[in-house]
Amino acid sequence: MWSSSSSTPLDLLTSNSSSVLGGGAVGGTKDSFANALTKNIVAMLVWLALSIINGSMVHTFLQHSRFRENPRYIMFICMVMNDALQLSLVTALYVVSYIFRKIPASVCCGLVMTAVLTTRSTPLLLAGMAVERYASICFPLHYARLCTVRRTLLLIGLVLVLTATPPVSDLLITLVHGPPGLFRSNIFCDHPRLFRHRSIYYKNVAFDVFYLSSVALTLLYTYCKIMLAARAAATSTHRASTGLASVRRARNTVVLHGVQLLLCLLAFVVPSLQAALISRFPLLGLEIRYVFFLGVYIIPRFMSPVIYGFRDEQFRKYWTRSLGGGRRAIRVQPGVLKAL
C-alpha cells in the first residue's frame, strides 16, 4: 500500500539536505565550507533584496486607498504576499537543509503544506488577473459591475480553498493510513517521505493536470480576446490612441502572465529533470541542485514586481516615492487608472 509519490516542488529544495555541512554527499561529492557559505550568502542576499522590494510594495498598497479599492491591485498585492511567503519558506528550508538532515515530522508537515499551498496558488492568481484584464478591455462599460472589491476578495478566498484542498487531503489520508507515530518522529523533510500513501500520488497528479490545464486555457482565451480587441482598435478610426495603448499594455501583461505560468510549471517538472541530470553528472550534483534552486524558486519571484511595480505608471509613481522616503504629495490626473 505504500510507495514513494512523484517528485513535488518542495523536493527540489529539501533534496539539498543530503549535502549537510560537514556531513552528507551527493554523487560522491561534498560541498566545501567555502562553497556552502557562498551559496547560502547569495541565497540570503537575493531573499533580502526581494523582501525589501515586496515589503515596499505592500506598504505602498496599504498607504493609498486608490489601490485598496482597485481589484487589479488587490490581486497583485495578494500575488506579492504569496511570492514573499514562498520565497521566505524555500530560502529558510535551503539554509536549514545545510544544518539539519532530519527535523520533526510535525514541523515538516507544516512546511510542506505551506509550500504546496503557495506554489499552487500562483497559477490560479495569474488566471484571475488575466480575467480582470480581459474584462477591463473587452467589457469596459460593465467593468465596474463585473470586477468589484467584494468579488475580488471572494475569488482570492476561493483560490485559497482550492489550493489548500490537496495538502489538507494529503494530511487526512496520512493520518488514517500512515504508520503509527509518524508525526512524533524525525524525518528527512520532503513530500514523498511524509505523505507516502499510493492514492496521494494519483490524486495530486489528477488535480495538477486539471487545474494547470484550466489556467493555461484561461490565459490563452483571454490573450486571444485581447488580441482581437487590439486589432479592432487599430483598424477603428474612432478609437483614441490612448485606448489602443491600453489594449496593447493589457495584451503584453497577459503574455507576461503566460511566462510566469511557464516558470510555475517548471517547479512541477524540474525535480525529475534534476534527478536525471544528477544521475548523469554525479560529480556536479550539488551545483545542479543550486542552479535549479535559483532558476526555479528565486529568479521567477522578480516577475511580479516587474509586471506591476515597474510597468504600471500609477503604482510606480507612488512606489518610487515610497522608496525615496519623500512625503510630498504626488499629483495624479483624475480618472480611471490606466490599464497595463
**Does residue 7 have a pLDDT over 60?**
no
Gyration radius from the chain CA atoms:
22
- pLDDT class for 6, splitting at 50, 70, 90? very low
Question: What are the extents of the domains in the chain?
Answer: 11-324
pLDDT over threshold 50, residue 28:
no
The pLDDT confidence band at residue 283, using thresholds 50, 70 and 90, is confident
Residue-averaged pLDDT of the chain = 77
pLDDT in tens, 142-163: 888 989 999 999 999 999 999 9
Highest mean pLDDT among 53-57, 232-236, 330-334: 53-57
Please report the pLDDT score of residue 313 as a whole number: 80
Contact 190, 225 (CB under 8 A): no
Residue 27 or 172, more confident: 172
pLDDT at 332: 46
Please say if the pLDDT value at position 53 is more than 80: yes
- Give yes or no for a contact between 293 and 37, defined as CB atoms under 8 angstroms apart: no
Supply the pLDDT for residue 90. 82
Per mean pLDDT, which range of 26-30, 128-132, 145-149 is the poorest? 26-30
CB of 26 within 8 A of CB of 289?
yes
Q: What is the predicted pLDDT for the residue at 198? A: 86
User: Which residues lie below 8 Å from residue 96, measured CB to CB, with a gap of 6+?
Assistant: 103
* pLDDT above 80: residue 258: no
3-class DSSP string for 1-28: CECCCCCCCCHHHHHHHHHCCCCCCECC
Residue 101: Cβ-neighbour burial (10 angstroms; 0-12, 13-18, 19+): middle
Asked if residue 75 lies in contact with residue 129, where contact means CB atoms within 8 angstroms, the answer is yes
State the pLDDT at residue 326.
52
Top-tier CATH class for 11-324 = mainly alpha
Of 29-38, 192-201, 327-336, the one with minimum mean pLDDT is: 327-336
pLDDT at residue 181 tops 80: yes
CB 261 within 8 A of CB 216: yes
